[in-house]
Chain A
Amino acid sequence: MKQGFTNITTEILTLFKTCLKSYGVVAFAPHPIPSTLLMLATFYHPMAGAMGILGNLISNLTARWLHPIGAVRDSGIFGVNGILVGLALAKYGDPTGNIWILLILGAGMTGMVAVALAGYFAKYDLPVLSIPFTATVWLLLLIPGTASLNDSALSSILYLKQFDLWLFNVLPLTLFEYIKMFGSIFFQENLISGVIVLVSIAIYSRISIIAGLWGGILGMTIYVIIHGSLAGFHGLNYVLIALALGGFFLVSSWRAFLFMSVAIVMVGLVEAGTAPLLKYFDLPILVFPFNLVAIMVLFPLKNIVLGGHSRLVPVPLYLIKSPESNLRWHRRWVLQSTRQKTLLTLPFIGEWSVLQGNNGEWTHKDSGRYAWDFVIRDNAGSQSRGLGSQIEDYFAFGLPVLAPAPGMVYAMENRVIDNPPQTANTEQNWGNYVIIDHQNGEFSEISHLKNGSVTVYPGQYVQRGEVIGYCGNSGRSPVPHIHFQLQNTGKLSADTIPTNFSEGVIEGVPCTHFIPETNVVVSPIESDEETVWTLLGKESEIWVYTVHKSFLKFKESLLFSTDEFGNPAIIGKDNRLWHIVDMPHFIEIKPDFKTYPSLINPSLWIDVVGERLILPKILMDGFKWKDGNVHRVSSSDHLWDIISGNRRVLIDIHRGIVEISLMDNPDKKMSLLKIHHKK
């Protein structure tokens, strides 16, 4: 019983939220505050406002009944069409007729059309926009007797009307028309509604408001050029196309703005060309030009790869939250696709010495410069026992070689004979090798292995640290050594790419993200201590954390997910994303955005891990990363207290990170962040 009641309450709440959001979606500003304001803007004509609400409700109910996917159902796009049906009928319909019945039928119908169209468009990742609304209203208005004879049949609130008239007299006509244009998005062609729409968009997004204002100016100009005057100007199509392409469906950039401007011109042409045709049927043009042009430009952008080099980036619909969040998403994408993605550990066991590092003196030059040769030297610096006349005398010969990161073996060679010392086989330069595809566009190449020693075969998956072969002296190798390089293709002798190793010990000091130089001694981390804690949180888990700020408490949530490349990440508000680098011996949390204090969003989490945070996983007193400035302060059985920079992190070895707090301002109340797992 109670369960059922809760379900109904949740359903009603969701419906309410969706209905409210729908108002925002009309002006491409889906956020509660703009949505509320925009709803108020429709009540310039109270009856129109009421009709909008009814249309919204019916259309959304239809979608809830018909559409299978919750996320789409609650996106507000169905409500948009319902609202517009209501508002358009209020404007163009005959109020003396059975307009409410017409509205109920029309809104239901537009809901159905929208569901059908959404299903069809989903394949192309195209938005439904207000196409269902346009079609439905045209159909309704074609029914004899439904269309209103004069344009302004609706009564509006008297004081507002008077105020509007006064403004009309005070303001220059162009400015009046300009502001009115924004109100026309909701078929409220008056100054007050226009101002409310402008304010709402401004609250929602700086990018949107700039796009909208520019779209208005350009649209008016084009209209005047085509028609000679502002007579009969509505302008909603120009504003809508500007808002849609200026940052909402495309990632904003100067190119997107240019593109959007061209689209505005197209809207002007479509409008000018279709208006006479529609006039023949006594139909208003509604948002037809906007819909047509938007679909026309989005379809190719989303579905036809323009030579692979399009700088116009359409945003996948499910990701769209705001132009700013789109921008963040795109910046992240660019950043990640150019950054080394593979987390590498050293491909051997124990202490090895770098014979030749990056830009080495013998072979690591030009396109092959990001490579390493590793050998073993004893304390006296010798690589071999005795004179080293046999390859077996060399310490490195026959030692295991490991996979530096997980992946699939892409290619290997196993048949090249090992050279005697101080000779090189330049016919088969690479000797016996293994190429591992890390399945992120990066490939490890490890070569000069011992004849017949490769233990893996192409297609086999290997784990980090798995033995793939044994060190040898095959190929262009005068002394037994391990050659390692990272490259962007699986081709042998492909160009090397800038590479660092994620963790290791250089000359006795544990380091993260390092590039070993020639002649340094490096080894994988082997702590005497067990690695004891892990970052809790599995994919798609939601963590709720509480921010304590003096006497205030804020609850926010984080989603444990993956980034675009499938690596673990935490996703916070507005597409903010923290990468989680989970290495055998440390965890790094690094943000993919610049830290800035936010007034509206008191998310201390952002401030706390705004800079990258490197936390060792090994319990060892005084353990210190070379570049991480991390050490353990104290520990009880389960709790581990780490200071990293100006942050203090409390780790429960069974639960993961428990608290992160700021150290640098002891005068202020220390702000704590707690994460606890929510079922």
Chain B
Amino acid sequence: MKQEKKSYVKPTIVRHSVGVTNKYGRPPATVPMSRLNGFDVKELVNEYGSPLYVLSVEQLRQNYQDMFRAFSTRYPGARIAYSYKTNYLKAVCSILHSEGALAEVVSGFEYDIARNLAMPGEKIIFNGPYKTRDELARAFTDGAMVNIDNYDEIQVCEEVADELGRKFPVGVRVNMDLNNPPWHKFGFNVEAGHAYEAVKRIQSGGKLDVKGLHIHVGTYVDDVNIYSMAAQGLVNFYTVIKEQLGIKLKYWDMGGGYASHNTLNWAWQSAEYTCPTFDQYAEAICPILLKGPFQAAEAPRLFLEPGRALVDEPISMITTVVSQKRLPGGKRGVIVDAGMNVLSSVQWYNYNCQTVQDSGLTLEDTILYGGLCMNIDVLRQNAVLPPLRRGELLVIPHIGAYNLSQSWQFIYLRPAVIAIDNGKIHLIKASETREYVQEMESVPKEFNTYSIANKN
């Protein structure tokens, strides 16, 4: 039997710090993750190529159900609207809609996706700072919930309402000081009185009717107190506009920003300890909202717009080691075939990289490089990894949010996405081909003299 020839690795002296206790703390788990959702990782790669996105449908459903239970048992009529922008793969959206999620969209494109998935207008929340006139007209006609972001949009909405000859209910996006990074780009500020003025302005226009309030406190907010403050802020604001302007809300929308089990780059502690549970978020929000200025039977509907918290964990990426090298500083570098073009959340997360093979316990600080021919393509500055050889596999879990919707085609073709559901594999997005990437392109004849000549 012919032994496989191993590639040469320059010998190095590494200080062993593996033990029960030492001053560096516990090393990361090094138990190889040879199976993912019940399937052999190597076989998945052999079948569908590398890199590869893998969606666990059970996990996605479980996340939704956990969140829905947490909120729907604490607030009557709480509804979850899935934030499309975090991952608008049709399969992902469909799974969540089948669980009962509404759609939260922030552009005409996303709106179109939702309508294409047979979501009725009443189940779509249309947010965002930029909505075109045609998109607004369509949303109003379909009965979608539109949350107005700025004065110009009030103007446009009123013109649309005029054209359609009807009065439409709208929501108002507000922002407030919540002791976290300001989120003032969106909506009308409450403390400065802008939100009150906006509501007054909309009501006095007589063409729209304020029926909702919308707030979004940030992104990856792992401090539930910020949600409590926001909820209290909404209650206070509602009390004022109810008393002074006679507004009766149909809904309030607490937005998204719920954290996932991914440790942030700058985080002190692991997300395992810092990420609140859905029950903790719900407990921070619901009791405060229920004390709003209304009878229990008339509570406005509560919308939540999670994205990351639902979809981050269910998707993992399998990537293949391309090369391992020793850097001039003595540090080890490992290049993998997935780059930051398909892992844009690298700017946020300290990815938890799992080995698939048993590569021994000689752990070493390693720089993990992506495969792009770009110096900035670094996936992790400091990953504690065993020696990895070309062809070996790594699994990067919890990368479902943003990475797919923000991925860009650059240098390489983008990989396939598979969904694993009860032991069955579904290909939900095939890997790109050159033809697909260039489908929209055309070359005028005048530019094409070289290839025509050479083909002949």
Binding site for B on A (CB under 8 A): 348-352, 376, 378-379, 395, 398-400, 402, 463-467, 524, 526-528, 530, 584
Say whether A528 contacts B76, CB under 8 Å.
Answer: no
Partner of A378, one of B69, B286, B290, B301: B69
Say whether A351 contacts B290, CB under 8 Å.
Answer: no
Is the CB of B135 closer than 8 A to any CB of chain A? no
Known: A400-B287, A467-B287, A530-B250. A350 touches B72 (CB 8 A): yes
What are the residues of chain B within 8 A of A376 when measuring CB–CB?
69, 73
What are the residues of chain B within 8 A of A465 when measuring CB–CB?
76, 295-297, 299
User: Taking chain A's interface residues, is the majority helix, strand, or loop, or is none over half, making it mixed?
Assistant: loop
Shortest Cβ gap from A566 to chain B (Å): 19
Is the CB of B207 closer than 8 A to any CB of chain A? no
Given contacts A351-B73, A378-B69, A463-B296, 7 further A-B contacts (CB under 8 A): A350-B74, A351-B69, A378-B65, A379-B65, A395-B69, A400-B74, A464-B297
Partner of A466, one of B283, B286, B287, B296: B296
Partner of B283, one of A398, A402, A524: A398
Is the CB of B391 closer than 8 A to any CB of chain A? no
Say whether B69 contacts A349, CB under 8 Å.
Answer: no
What are the residues of chain B within 8 A of A348 when measuring CB–CB?
73
Is the CB of B432 closer than 8 A to any CB of chain A? no
CA distance A216 to B290 in the complex (A): 70
What are the residues of chain A within 8 A of B78 when measuring CB–CB?
350
Say whether B74 contacts A399, CB under 8 Å.
Answer: yes
Shortest Cβ gap from B442 to chain A (Å): 47
Say whether B73 contacts A399, CB under 8 Å.
Answer: yes
Is the CB of B77 closer than 8 A to any CB of chain A? yes
CA distance A134 to B158 in the complex (A): 82
Is the CB of B196 closer than 8 A to any CB of chain A? no
Say whether B69 contacts A528, CB under 8 Å.
Answer: no
What are the residues of chain B within 8 A of A530 when measuring CB–CB?
250
Say whether A467 contacts B297, CB under 8 Å.
Answer: no
What are the residues of chain A within 8 A of B290 when measuring CB–CB?
400, 467
Binding site for A on B (CB under 8 A): 65, 69, 72-79, 122-123, 250, 279, 283, 286-287, 290, 295-297, 299, 301
Shortest Cβ gap from A278 to chain B (Å): 69
CA distance A528 to B302 in the complex (A): 11
What are the residues of chain B within 8 A of A379 when measuring CB–CB?
65
Say whether A528 contacts B122, CB under 8 Å.
Answer: yes
Residue of A nearest to B297 (CB): A584
Shortest Cβ gap from B372 to chain A (Å): 41
Residue of B nearest to A378 (CB): B65
Shortest Cβ gap from A639 to chain B (Å): 17
What are the residues of chain B within 8 A of A527 when measuring CB–CB?
77
Shortest Cβ gap from B142 to chain A (Å): 15
Shortest Cβ gap from A508 to chain B (Å): 11
What are the residues of chain A within 8 A of B296 when measuring CB–CB?
402, 463-466
Say whether A526 contacts B77, CB under 8 Å.
Answer: yes
Q: What are 16 inter-chain pairs, A to B, with CB distance below 8 A?
A: A348-B73, A349-B75, A349-B76, A350-B78, A351-B69, A351-B72, A351-B73, A378-B69, A399-B73, A400-B287, A465-B76, A465-B296, A467-B290, A524-B76, A528-B79, A528-B122
Say whether B76 contacts A526, CB under 8 Å.
Answer: yes
Closest 3 A/B residue pairs (Cβ): A465-B296, A350-B73, A350-B72
What are the residues of chain A within 8 A of B79 when measuring CB–CB?
528
What are the residues of chain A within 8 A of B301 when measuring CB–CB?
528
Known: A378-B65, A379-B65, A467-B290. A349 touches B72 (CB 8 A): yes
Partner of B69, one of A350, A402, A464, A526: A350
What are the residues of chain B within 8 A of A464 when measuring CB–CB?
296-297
What are the residues of chain B within 8 A of A352 when measuring CB–CB?
73
Residue of B nearest to A637 (CB): B166
Known: A464-B297, A465-B295. A349 touches B73 (CB 8 A): yes
Shortest Cβ gap from B397 to chain A (Å): 20
CA distance A584 to B65 in the complex (A): 27
Residue of A nearest to B290 (CB): A467
What are the residues of chain B within 8 A of A584 when measuring CB–CB?
297
Say whether A463 contacts B295, CB under 8 Å.
Answer: yes
Shortest Cβ gap from B375 to chain A (Å): 45
Residue of B nearest to A402 (CB): B296
What are the residues of chain B within 8 A of A395 when measuring CB–CB?
69, 73
What are the residues of chain B within 8 A of A400 when measuring CB–CB?
73-74, 286-287, 290
What are the residues of chain A within 8 A of B297 when measuring CB–CB?
463-465, 584
Residue of B nearest to A403 (CB): B296
Residue of B nearest to A583 (CB): B297
Residue of A nearest to B75 (CB): A349
CA distance A400 to B288 in the complex (A): 12
Shortest Cβ gap from A390 to chain B (Å): 13
What are the residues of chain A within 8 A of B74 when measuring CB–CB?
349-350, 399-400
CA distance A351 to B73 in the complex (A): 7
Shortest Cβ gap from A483 to chain B (Å): 17
What are the residues of chain B within 8 A of A350 when measuring CB–CB?
69, 72-74, 76, 78
What are the residues of chain B within 8 A of A351 when measuring CB–CB?
69, 72-73
CA distance A376 to B301 in the complex (A): 22
Residue of A nearest to B69 (CB): A395
CA distance A175 to B30 in the complex (A): 116
Residue of A nearest to B71 (CB): A350
Shortest Cβ gap from B114 to chain A (Å): 16
What are the residues of chain B within 8 A of A467 when measuring CB–CB?
287, 290
Shortest Cβ gap from B250 to chain A (Å): 6
What are the residues of chain A within 8 A of B122 when measuring CB–CB?
528
Residue of A nearest to B250 (CB): A530
CA distance A464 to B298 in the complex (A): 11
CA distance A9 to B250 in the complex (A): 53
CA distance A465 to B290 in the complex (A): 10
Shortest Cβ gap from B57 to chain A (Å): 13
Residue of B nearest to A527 (CB): B77
Shortest Cβ gap from A378 to chain B (Å): 7
Shortest Cβ gap from B148 to chain A (Å): 20
What are the residues of chain B within 8 A of A528 when measuring CB–CB?
79, 122-123, 301
CA distance A380 to B422 in the complex (A): 14
Residue of A nearest to B299 (CB): A465
Residue of B nearest to A526 (CB): B77
Residue of A nearest to B76 (CB): A349
Residue of A nearest to B72 (CB): A350
CA distance A463 to B295 in the complex (A): 8
CA distance A350 to B78 in the complex (A): 9
Shortest Cβ gap from A588 to chain B (Å): 16
Shortest Cβ gap from B274 to chain A (Å): 18
Residue of A nearest to B166 (CB): A637
Residue of B nearest to A467 (CB): B290
Shortest Cβ gap from B282 to chain A (Å): 9
CA distance A526 to B296 in the complex (A): 12
Shortest Cβ gap from A105 to chain B (Å): 64
What are the residues of chain A within 8 A of B65 when measuring CB–CB?
378-379
What are the residues of chain A within 8 A of B286 when measuring CB–CB?
400
CA distance A265 to B18 in the complex (A): 112
CA distance A151 to B122 in the complex (A): 90
CA distance A384 to B91 in the complex (A): 29
What are the residues of chain A within 8 A of B76 when measuring CB–CB?
349-350, 465, 524, 526
CA distance A351 to B74 in the complex (A): 11
Shortest Cβ gap from B258 to chain A (Å): 18
CA distance A379 to B65 in the complex (A): 8
Shortest Cβ gap from B191 to chain A (Å): 29
CA distance A402 to B287 in the complex (A): 12
CA distance A278 to B286 in the complex (A): 84
Residue of B nearest to A466 (CB): B296
CA distance A584 to B294 in the complex (A): 14
CA distance A679 to B69 in the complex (A): 49
CA distance A579 to B128 in the complex (A): 50
Residue of A nearest to B211 (CB): A530
Shortest Cβ gap from A161 to chain B (Å): 74
CA distance A350 to B80 in the complex (A): 13
* Most central of B65, B279, B296, B299 by chain A CB within 10 Å: B296
